[in-house]
Amino acid sequence: MSEFIIFSLLNTLIYGLLLFMLSSGLTLIFGLMNVLNFAHASFYMIGAYFAYQVSLYIGFIPALFLAPLGVGILGMIVERYGLRKVHAHGHVAELLFTFGLFFLFNEVVILIWGRNPVDYQIPGFLDFPLFTLFGADFSAYKGFMLLISIAMFIGMYLVINRTRIGLVIQASLTHPEMVSVLGHNVPAVFMYVFGAGAALAGLAGVIGGNFLVTEPGMAMALGPIVFVVIVVGGMGSLTGAFISSLLLAGLQTFAVGMNYSLADFLGHFGIQAASEGFWGDIVRIEIANTRAMIPFLFMIFMLIFRPKGLMGVREE
């Protein structure tokens, strides 16, 4: 049991912090710009493909910096020449614009790299066991992912809450006219914020693409979970996204190892559940089989009983 708990906690940390890296950019964009970017996971996918291509020529370390930079520039172009014009027509137009962008990016990736996964591998200098526990290895690359994720969270928190740049960004959202009078270019601030959010997603793609699989479906695989994270954590709350990422990752990770059903539960009270038919199938569904639906079920209950999320301040 102790082995299961320890490894589940470690996997929760890794998966949860990867979710946080991906969702932090989205919650940053929504919190500061009030834009719900449906194409955010596409920047994660593009970051992974950029990193794969760059690492083929000059290695993983340059890719770790160049790929997020390239994705950030792409994000700024999207905001400057697309989203800014659509923004004037309201949130529905924004949502439809980013929805179309999601499929556009997906098709472009397929045209360039094909439908099959690319051979984006963990770098050799991080491909060794960091330590061994209960006979199982914990890789150095997992430790590297944890380090990057924690450093990113601390860096973002300090920039937004402890620097002049962060104050200008927050003031641009609540008092854009006053910030403009003080000499700051508010549209440029929004463009940089959108680019930074896209770059964070790209960074998640760089370190997550070789840990998972780099293929065209990777944005669709993690995209819905990212929205669950920011809804549960509270729209626009960085701290909420951090807590929510770890919470949802923990629920899914621990659920994988729980082969326990409603029939088992009823058996403790001497109740014999139906063994055949529709109800027999229902009561024998194990918790492990519900892993994929747990985050969405959690989000539904959160929206019913606490719409602003764990740490959010907005009800809408």
C-alpha–C-alpha distance, residues 39 and 49, integer Å:
16
Concatenated DSSP letters of 251-286? HHHHHHT---BHHHHHHTTT-----SHHHHHHHT-B
Greater confidence (316 vs 39) lies with 39
Q: How confident is the model at residue 174 (pLDDT cuts 50, 70, 90)?
A: low
Which position has the higher pLDDT, 135 or 11? 11
Q: What share of the chain is helix, strand, coil (3-state, %, to 5)?
A: 75, 5, 25
Neighbour tally for 292: CB within 10 Å = 10
Which range of 32-41, 102-111, 255-264, 282-291 scores highest in mean pLDDT? It is: 102-111
Residue 139 is inside which H or E element, if any? strand 136-139
Please state the rounded mean pLDDT for residues 301-309. 87
Residue 314 in this model has a pLDDT that exceeds 60: no
d(CA 9, CA 293): 20
Instruction: Provide the whole-model pTM.
Output: 0.86
For range 261-274, the mean pLDDT:
76
Q: How far apart are CA 194 and CA 39, in angstroms?
A: 12
Mean pLDDT of 256-276: 76
Asked whether 67 and 206 are in contact (CB, 8 A), the reply is: yes
Which residue, chain included where needed, has tokens 């924690």?
150
**Among the listed residues 113, 18, 3, 102, the one whose alpha carbon sits nearest the alpha carbon of residue 56:** 113
190 Cβ partners below 8 Å, 6+ apart?
A: 32, 33, 79, 84, 172
Domains of the chain: which residue ranges?
1-218
Kindly state the helix (H) or strand (E) to which residue 206 belongs, with its residue range.
helix 186-209
Amino acid letter at 306? Answer: R
**pLDDT by residue (tens digit) across 85-95?**
887 787 788 88
CB atoms within 10 A of CB 62: 13
